[in-house]
């Protein structure tokens, strides 16, 4: 009897071990899917001036300096900490320093990092580096980026060690994540669409990595691809990136094309303006788009199928409940935004009918009131107006009251903002 039980136990253990081995093998195979061995002898790139110039442009389109430049540090020398829900990831040094940067990297090493998310030494890269988007970048553009980065002054600056919690700090956990959610891609091409639309799709989904912010994510931080560009929280930054496929949020299907181009290149348009993380994107990246590429992105964004918003579940506040907020508005807001929320064209945005004011998610409104709102300084709008922070001026009840008023005055209609929401926004740690 004991021998039989021992035999059953051994059989179960063997089956479990076989399953573990099979799972490990499957994860390893999925992490190597599509990869080809690197050349035995690293191939050099004889870059032309035109290739370097194109790489400089593509680096701006991809906003590479935004992550790979620490505050006050040398451009592209890395060291900036990127907050994630799992800890902090530090961006690497992209200058051609041999010891701490890309000096020992070949064009194939660089292409593998962009296309497969694997470092020169074989380590899997964390997707805070948006290789799930960059995997769609062409080899030609990868080589141009490489040529530009190799032309920069070499800066010796080691990257700090990532500060991620267990088990997210392990290569094993990252390999499982990649096996579940990452596959090497290719540039999006739709033969039924125009060349301009296809160029816009390439910029939006590839180097521009717009889905990295504007797409909701699951519990493990992977994009919900079926809801691409459908709106999501910007990881680690405490801002909501509104849906680009909803007219009530950030959809531009009904805008004149030139207004979409203006928003990308200047940060302002007759229908609205950018602030928060998007202001940095415009400042560092989209203001540098060529007219043709800005138009291509606009064409693609306008062609996105549009969704209707879900009906609001919360009740609209009664007029008497809005009176405290009306007083706060009169004292602190009307001077710029107008008695009727009409704003001042070219200076202060209108609040009446402003879809940013009416968003179901009030995260951005609370951030702007507490921390201020600032447009990017661009070539097309070099001296933008800004909104000062009211963190030290208004209490939580006043913040909630004035936002509830603004969301329900001058024809606006949206659920009230709770005092607890203002408290949580005030207490939230800024990146």
**DSSP class per residue in 255-297:** S-HHHHHHHHHHSEETTEE--THHHHHHHHTGGG--HHHHHHH
Is 80 exceeded by the pLDDT of residue 20? no
Rounded to 5°, the CA angle 240-241-243 comes to: 120
- How sure is the predictor about 331, in pLDDT bands with cuts at 50, 70 and 90? very high
Q: Give residue-wise pLDDT tens across range 95-149.
A: 999 999 999 999 999 999 999 999 999 999 999 999 999 999 999 999 999 999 9
Among residues of the chain, what percentage have pLDDT more than 70? Answer: 90
Rounded to 5°, the CA angle 62-65-67 comes to: 90
Dist. CA 38–CA 13, nearest whole Å:
39
Average pLDDT over residues 342-365: 93
- How sure is the predictor about 235, in pLDDT bands with cuts at 50, 70 and 90? confident
Number of H helices, E strands in the chain: 17, 9
Instruction: Take residue 115 and report the two structure tokens written for it.
Output: 């296309």
CB 360 within 8 A of CB 407: no
- How sure is the predictor about 2, in pLDDT bands with cuts at 50, 70 and 90? low
DSSP-based three-state secondary structure for 1: coil
Q: Which of 406, 424, 426, 425 is nearest to 416 (CA)?
A: 406
- pLDDT number for residue 360: 92
- pLDDT number for residue 34: 65
On the CB side of 153, CA atoms within 13 Å amount to: 4
Mean pLDDT over all residues of the chain? 90
Is 80 exceeded by the pLDDT of residue 21? no
Long-range pairs for 122-127: beta carbons < 8 A, 24 or more residues apart? 123/171, 124/31, 124/171, 124/174, 124/175, 124/178, 126/89, 126/162, 126/164, 126/174, 127/177, 127/182, 127/221
Average pLDDT over residues 8-13: 60
Q: Label the pairing between strands 232-234 and 163-164.
A: unpaired
Chain position carrying tokens 């001026």: 393
Q: Give residue-wise pLDDT tens across range 278-315.
A: 999 999 999 999 999 999 999 999 999 999 876 655 67
- pLDDT number for residue 31: 62
Is 80 exceeded by the pLDDT of residue 37? no
- pLDDT number for residue 238: 86
**H or E element in which residue 72 lies:** none
- pLDDT number for residue 41: 72
Question: Which segments within 1-135 are labelled E, that is strand?
Answer: 81-84, 87-90
The neighbour count for residue 273, using CB atoms within 10 Å, is 22
Using CA atoms, how far residue 277 sits from 119, 236, 399, 415, in Å, is 28, 11, 22, 25
- pLDDT number for residue 7: 62
The neighbour count for residue 37, using CB atoms within 10 Å, is 6
The neighbour count for residue 119, using CB atoms within 10 Å, is 15
On the CB side of 413, CA atoms within 13 Å amount to: 7
Helix ranges restricted to H, 62-190: 64-68, 107-116, 131-134, 139-150, 171-181
């Amino acid at each position: 009897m004991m021998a039989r039980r021992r035999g059953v136990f051994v059989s179960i253990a063997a089956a479990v071990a076989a399953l573990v081995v099979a799972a490990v093998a499957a994860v390893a195979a999925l992490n190597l899917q599509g990869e080809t061995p690197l050349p035995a002898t690293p191939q050099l790139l004889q870059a032309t001036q035109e290739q370097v110039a194109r790489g400089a442009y593509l680096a701006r389109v991809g906003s590479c300096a935004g992550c790979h430049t620490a505050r006050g540090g040398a451009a592209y020398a890395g060291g900036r900490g990127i907050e994630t829900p799992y800890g902090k990831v530090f961006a690497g040094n992209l200058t051609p320093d041999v010891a701490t940067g890309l000096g020992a990297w070949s064009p194939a090493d660089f292409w593998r990092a962009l296309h497969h998310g694997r470092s020169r030494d074989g380590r899997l890269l964390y997707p805070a580096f948006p290789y799930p988007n960059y995997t769609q970048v062409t080899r030609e553009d990868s080589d141009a980026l490489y040529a530009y980065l190799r032309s920069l002054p070499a800066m010796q600056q080691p990257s700090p060690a990532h500060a991620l919690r267990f088990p997210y700090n392990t290569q094993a956990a990252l390999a499982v994540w990649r096996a579940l959610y990452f596959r090497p891609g290719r540039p999006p091409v739709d033969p039924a669409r125009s060349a301009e639309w296809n160029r816009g799709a390439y910029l939006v989904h590839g180097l521009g990595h717009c889905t990295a912010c504007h797409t909701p994510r699951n519990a493990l931080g992977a994009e919900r691809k079926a809801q691409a560009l459908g709106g999501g929280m910007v990881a680690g930054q405490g801002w909501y990136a509104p849906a680009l496929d909803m007219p009530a949020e950030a959809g531009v299907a009904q805008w004149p094309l030139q207004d979409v181009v203006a928003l990308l290149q200047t940060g302002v348009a007759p229908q609205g303006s950018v602030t928060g993380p998007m202001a940095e994107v415009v400042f560092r990246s989209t203001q540098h788009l060529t007219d043709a590429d800005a138009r291509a992105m606009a064409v693609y964004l306008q062609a996105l199928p549009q969704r209707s918003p879900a009906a609001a579940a919360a009740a609209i506040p009664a007029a008497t409940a809005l009176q405290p907020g009306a007083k706060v508005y009169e004292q602190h807001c009307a001077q710029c935004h107008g008695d009727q929320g009409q704003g001042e064209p070219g200076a202060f945005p209108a609040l009446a009918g402003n879809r940013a004011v009416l968003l179901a998610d009030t995260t951005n409104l609370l951030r702007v009131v507490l921390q201020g709102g600032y447009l990017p300084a661009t070539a097309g709008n070099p001296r933008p107006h800004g909104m000062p922070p009211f963190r030290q001026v208004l209490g939580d009840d006043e913040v909630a009251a004035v936002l509830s008023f603004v969301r329900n005055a001058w024809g606006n209609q949206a659920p009230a903002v709770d005092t607890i929401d203002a408290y949580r926004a005030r207490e939230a740690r800024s990146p």
